[in-house]
Amino acid sequence: MWGRSIRLTRVAGIDIRLDASWFLIAALLTWSLAEGYFPALVPGTGPAELLIAALISMLGLFGSLILHELSHAMVARAYGMSVEGITLFVFGGVAELRNEPPDALTEFRVAIVGPLASLAIAAIFLMARWVAAAVGAADLAVAVLEYISLANFVLAVFNLLPAFPLDGGRVLRAFLWRRSRDFAQATRTADRISTGIALAMMTLGGIQILWGAGAAGLWPVLLALFILAASHSARLQTDMREALAGLTVRQVMRRDPISVDPDLTLAVLVEDVMMQNGITFVAVVEDGQLLGIVDHETVRRIERENWAHTRVDDVFLALGPEDVVTPDVDATDVFERMIRGDRRKFPVVTHGRLVGVVTLADLMARGRLNTELGHSRG
């Protein structure tokens, strides 16, 4: 779903990952706390103490985000939904669910528990702040506890904005879904409302920038762009699921795909197969059995001067059961696998023999056609 990420740990069987963009926001947050926030609250504090306080605060917010997303994941799992993992990124975090909630009430429960968890964390740290102040703890320690409490309160309030994919947007969709009993229509309405909120945020950010607020105005604009992209993506996915409903891979796949023998050289593969046919990947077949695929990315990793001496057999990617599909699989299931993973194309096989290829572009094209013609079955 995201760009490059690293696996941090595993909690209750759920992988916790950090997107590369998270390191940017962690560094910016630590710097702003050490250079601006804490010096203003506790003047006269040394640079080393300020940096330590900033790091502790950043880690406190980091842990709070994990707990926020874990609350989503645990409730989702309690209602039978599969959780792929949790990823923290520049705008916060996301619990990656493999399937949509089965009903509006489940969507509401999964969505609302996140802000409730953040409010609970805010209350705990606020009480800790009062206790620390009462027993005469250092002002900087009190400030750290206060910051973590405030950050969680802001996190809860912001997430309750009725803009998809924020928690408030999902609560809104649950309400619309419950009222209309139509998940797709609820998603479309939530997308329209989210677009309006995002445009308002962009306008506010633009005004702040014109007034000289600088980075303070840039953040609402960036958040608005994220909301627009994520909301439209959710609507597109919902529309595609609806358009592909009832179709099998057999009805959308490309039949008689081009294949090559493993003894072919890369030079011949590129010039006579890929370039001639305008394709980026080719199935590798021997004696009628699918062995794997070779794509342009694999070829690019080989020095051009070695293409004439390198065979397809030396570089092709072997395929396991999870890397292929059968003709009778639901098209919507394959679409879900594509958008939630990093594969955009699958060979279609019957008893190990290649019978076709299905790509994300094929599914999108068929979905658009079905939508325009007003039906979903081939």
Question: Burial of 44 by CB count in 10 Å (0-12 exposed, 13-18 middle, 19+ buried)?
Answer: exposed
Q: Do both 336 and 293 map to the same domain?
A: yes
Q: Is 295 annotated as belonging to a binding site? A: no
Give the model's pLDDT for residue 179: 94
Is residue 378 in a domain? Answer: no
Question: Burial of 351 by CB count in 10 Å (0-12 exposed, 13-18 middle, 19+ buried)?
Answer: exposed
Give the model's pLDDT for residue 377: 47
**Of 200, 218, 244, which closes a domain?**
244
- Strands lying side by side in the sheet with 92-97: 5-11, 14-19, 83-89, 92-97
Question: Which sequence positions are flagged as catalytic?
Answer: 69
d(CA 330, CA 246): 7
How many CA atoms lie less than 13 Å away from 316 in the CB half-sphere? Answer: 26
d(CA 69, CA 62): 11
> What is the crossing angle of helices 167-180 and 183-210, to 10°?
150
Q: Do both 153 and 260 map to the same domain?
A: no
Domain residues for the domain of 17 are: 5-244
CA 235 to chain centre: 15
Q: Do both 200 and 100 map to the same domain?
A: yes
Q: Is 328 annotated as belonging to a binding site? A: no
Q: Do both 24 and 173 map to the same domain?
A: yes
Is residue 28 in a domain? Answer: yes
Q: Do both 240 and 255 map to the same domain?
A: no
Residue 288: CATH number of its domain: 3.10.580.10
pLDDT in tens, 52-103: 999 999 999 999 999 999 999 999 999 988 888 888 887 778 888 877 888 9
Q: Do both 62 and 12 map to the same domain?
A: yes
Q: Is 167 annotated as belonging to a binding site? A: yes
- pLDDT tens series, the chain, 378 aa: 445 678 888 888 888 888 888 888 889 889 989 988 899 888 988 999 999 999 999 999 999 999 999 999 999 999 988 888 888 887 778 888 877 888 999 999 999 999 999 999 999 999 999 999 999 889 999 999 999 999 999 999 989 999 888 899 999 999 999 999 998 899 999 999 999 999 998 898 888 888 876 666 677 888 888 888 888 888 888 888 888 888 999 999 988 888 889 898 999 998 888 898 888 888 888 887 888 888 888 888 888 888 888 898 888 888 888 888 999 999 988 898 888 777 788 889 888 888 888 988 889 888 888 887 765 444
Q: Both tokens of residue 210?
A: 């014109």
Q: Do both 78 and 182 map to the same domain?
A: yes
Angle at 160 between CA 157 and CA 163, to 5 degrees: 130
Q: Both tokens of residue 169?
A: 């947007």
Is residue 285 in a domain? Answer: yes
Give the model's pLDDT for residue 51: 94
- 326: three-class secondary structure by DSSP: coil
Concatenating the DSSP letter of every residue in 75-118 gives: HHHHTT--EEEEEEETTEEEEEESS--SSHHHHHHHHHHHHHHH
pLDDT in tens, 129-144: 999 999 988 999 999 9
Q: Do both 254 and 354 map to the same domain?
A: yes
